[in-house]
Amino acid sequence: MTLKELEQKAVEARQLVIQTLFTAGSGHSAGSLGMADIFTAFYFHILSQDPKNPNWEDRDRLILSNGHICPILYVSLAQRGIFQSMNLKL
């Protein structure tokens, strides 16, 4: 992806985080919105992933210890196609 495409994907991720938190009726927005660029870089440029084979043994793994930013993780995984989202308009 080009830098411009990554920037647009991060904007889309922020919109999806807001949509997700609104739909859920709760959640922490600031950390997830602030980390959108980082997670976009991880899942669309840095980490080796295969959405068609999510159990690929040699895939890169991201360990997240800050639970307050899990909405951006879930949105990024859905954007990347690692799992299907049920209500997000991707």
- % of the chain with per-residue pLDDT over 90: 74
Give the residue among 86, 84, 79, 11 at the shortest CA–CA distance from 47: 79
Q: For the chain, what are the domain ranges?
A: 3-80
Please report, to the nearest 10 degrees, the dihedral formed by the alpha carbons of residues 44, 47, 51, 56 taken in order: 170
**pTM of structure:** 0.87
pLDDT(86) > 60? no
pLDDT digits (tens, 9 = 90+) for 41-81: 999 999 999 988 888 899 999 999 988 999 999 999 999 98
Which residue type is seen at 89?
A: K
Which residue type is seen at 86?
A: M
